[in-house]
Amino acid sequence: MAKISVRKETSTLLFDFNYLGKRCREQTTLRDTTANRRKMEKVLERIEREIVAATFDYAKFFPGSNRAAEFGSKPALLPTPVRRSAVVGFAAQPAIAERTTPTFGEFTAIWLSENTAVWRRNTLKATLVQVNGYLLPRFAEMQMHQILKADCLAFRADIAKPGGSMKKRTLAAKTVNEIMQILGAIIAEGADRYEFPNPMQNVKRLKAPKVHIEPLSFDEVEKFIAKVREDYKQYFIVRFFTGLRTGEVHGLHWKHIDFERREILVRETYGDLGREYTKNESSQREVHMSEPVYQALKVQYEASGHLSEYVFCSRTGTPIDPLNVNKRVWKPTLKLLGMKDRRFYQTRHTAATLWLASGEAPEWIAKQMGHTSTEMLFKVYSRYVPNLTRQDGSAFERLLLQRLGGGEQQ
């Protein structure tokens, strides 16, 4: 494994790497300091990069070395401009042959245009925020193959430090990881196309705090439904007892309500950018209607079935605004009941924890939630998992009927 070492006799740094099956150690006159190590690490990365690409010319890096004569001169495979090494103090500033690739800014434009057709609009919007706000200001003018691991790590350190966000705030580890994930995707695609080593390959994610959820208990759900505005009772019954995401509830169409089979067909979402495909393929699912949900949707149909294609809509038939519901209905009701303020998304977590409490099978719950496996279920809700039994939805049904009552079974 290539590394920077220290010669004990002189306390100076040296390159230590393997080339053509032989260990090579090349001395410099640089003292062992952090700054000098960083300079040499960049050169060492370039050496490794050229060795992998079969363009490494030993004599150009170390013209005075005995190894240079041993290995001979190997011209670069691609005719490229010659750039001087940034390291001062070894081999009299040798010339290093480098290839030419698109700049990060140029390739990112290509990468975005190619993915626009397959991404959801919200995905594209979020990606553009990170690309324009963080990645392009840092890497836009650098050629793709010139971006080193040290550059990526330094960038991560800068955005992760206090005040590292665009608004001079401190970014959460989750957000830093999202930005680095986009950077990694762009560089990985460039490395594959232009055949250079991927500097992001072994860059690890920051450790992010475990997701903290604050679901409502069954007693709190009952109190909430009893006190919430009458025109939103059915809406919250559906949210609390189906686990639908906000966009899925607001994008729900009557054509996707199957009263006969007692299923809600999740097929699209609605958000700031209008209607679009669900979050991913697994989100395309059929959610079971428990009796309270069935009755709530029957009542809602009488109220809005003639007014709009959307199940939950405004007086003019348009989808209701989630920010408006959050501000004018959700939070005021929590405050009225003296309950802790929570994110709107806790209705989804509430459904999951109630299913778990009733003893439903994890596989069934994961399917209802739109997860591809039970991994996320146990990761997020581990402390809510009791001694589980294998059921199919009937256990939760019995719990709802016991606590809330309901109409006749169809």
Mean pLDDT of the chain, nearest integer: 85
Contact between residue 18 and residue 9 where contact means Cβ atoms under 8 Å apart: no
Kindly report the number of other CB atoms within 10 A of residue 131's CB atom. Answer: 22
| pLDDT surpassing 60 at residue 90 | no
Distance (Å, whole) CA 26 – CA 65: 8
The pLDDT confidence band at residue 246, using thresholds 50, 70 and 90, is very high
Average pLDDT value for residue range 288-301: 96
CATH class for domain 218-404?
mainly alpha
Residue whose C-alpha is closest to residue 182's, from 274, 107, 277: 107
CATH no. of 104-194: 1.10.150
Give the least confident one: 101-105, 159-163, 208-212, 301-305. Answer: 208-212
* Lowest mean per-residue pLDDT among 114-123, 259-268, 377-386: 377-386
- Whether 104-194 shares its CATH topology with 218-404 is answered no
Q: What's the one-letter identity of residue 90? A: F
- Model confidence, pTM: 0.61
Domain boundaries of the chain, sorted by first residue = 3-83, 104-194, 218-404
- Please determine, for residue 117, whether its predicted confidence score (pLDDT) is greater than 90: no
Decide: 8 and 27 in contact? Cβ < 8 Å.
no
Q: What percent of the chain has pLDDT over 70?
A: 89
